[in-house]
């Protein structure tokens, strides 16, 4: 599956089969997590066979079934020399991982609220747990979320250049907290793109996710540098 196919085929999945992840899938995920942690000052962890995080009332409320594998997304709250907040850095890395998982034949759901913090997840003193990503072989492939008009996040979409439009088209397929898409993207006459979060729960995590999807669609690395820490210049 190509990266573009993964963008179109990814949908949140909340019910999983008991089929374990393969050795190759685990290795690919671990390796990407290590790279992303280094680049974005995060402490993401792949947790396998945990029956705590999705066992409680909240998971039931969120209609989760048989989630035993997930990626815990934690990271340093602030990093000297890095422009982006933990929320944004997390979102950018989360987007990278849900697309990788889809390409590996796995399903995912980003979960900010409806899970319980498990003691298996390591959080250091200067870190915060942002969210988790449920991951595994889904009972289904999920369904396309209700699409919002592109002008919701890009008011000047109709008069914008084609590459910008394609970036926004990809953003509209991204996971978004409560499917809200609370962000605003604009482009000036020099082709500089500006992206801002509006006020809503998880809006800054969403912004990081949208920036990653925008880059995939537009075919330009516009936001990566501001998201990375100074410690690493790896290209993932």
Dihedral pair phi/psi, residue 51, rounded to 5°: -105, 15
- Contacts with ligand FMN, 59-88, as mask; x by CB under 6 A: ---x--------------------------
- 175 lies in the site for ligand FMN, by CB under 6 A: yes
Among 34-42, 69-77, 198-206, 215-223, the segment contacting ligand FMN (CB under 6 A): 198-206
* CB nearer ligand FMN, residue 91 or residue 167: 91
In whole angstroms, how close is the CB of 68 to ligand FMN at the nearest point? 16
In whole angstroms, how close is the CB of 113 to ligand FMN at the nearest point? 3
- 154 lies in the site for ligand FMN, by CB under 6 A: no
Q: How far is CA 87 from the centre of its chain?
A: 11
Helix (H, G, I), strand (E, B) or coil at 51: coil
Q: How far is CA 19 from the centre of its chain?
A: 23
How many Cβ atoms from other residues are within 10 Å of residue 20's Cβ?
A: 14
Decide: 50 and 81 in contact? Cβ < 8 Å: no
In whole angstroms, how close is the CB of 178 to ligand FMN at the nearest point? 6
Roughly what angle, to the nearest 10 degrees, separates helices 86-103 and 23-40? 160
- Contacts with ligand FMN, 84-113, as mask; x by CB under 6 A: -------------------------xxxxx
What are the distances in angstroms from CA 111 to CA 64, 96, 167, 200, 211?
10, 15, 24, 16, 19
* CB nearer ligand FMN, residue 137 or residue 187: 137
- 142 lies in the site for ligand FMN, by CB under 6 A: yes
Residues 6+ apart with CB under 8 A from 236: 32, 35, 36, 39, 96
| Residue ranges that bind ligand FMN, judged by CB under 6 A | 11-12, 62, 109-114, 131, 142, 145, 175-179, 202, 205-206, 209
């Amino acid at each position: 599956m190509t990266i573009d196919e993964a963008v179109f085929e990814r949908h949140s999945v909340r019910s999983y089969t008991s089929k374990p992840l393969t050795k190759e899938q685990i290795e690919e995920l671990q390796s990407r997590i290590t790279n992303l942690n280094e680049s974005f000052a995060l402490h993401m962890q792949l947790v396998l066979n945990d029956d705590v995080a999705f066992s409680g009332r909240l998971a039931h409320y969120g209609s989760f079934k048989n989630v035993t594998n997930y990626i815990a997304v934690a990271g340093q709250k602030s990093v000297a020399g890095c422009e982006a907040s933990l929320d944004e850095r997390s979102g950018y890395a989360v987007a990278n991982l849900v697309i990788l998982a889809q390409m590996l034949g796995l399903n995912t759901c980003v979960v900010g609220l409806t899970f319980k913090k498990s003691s298996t997840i390591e959080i250091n003193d200067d870190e915060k747990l942002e969210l988790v990503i449920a991951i595994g072989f889904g009972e289904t492939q999920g369904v396309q979320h209700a699409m919002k008009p592109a002008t919701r996040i890009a008011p000047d979409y109709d008069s914008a250049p084609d590459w910008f439009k394609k970036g926004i088209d990809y953003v509209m397929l991204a996971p978004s907290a409560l499917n809200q898409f609370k962000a605003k993207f604009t482009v000036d006459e020099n082709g500089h793109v500006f992206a801002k979060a509006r006020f809503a729960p998880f809006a800054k995590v969403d912004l990081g996710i949208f920036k990653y999807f925008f880059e995939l669609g537009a075919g330009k690395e516009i936001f990566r540098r501001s998201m990375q820490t100074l410690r690493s210049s790896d290209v993932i």
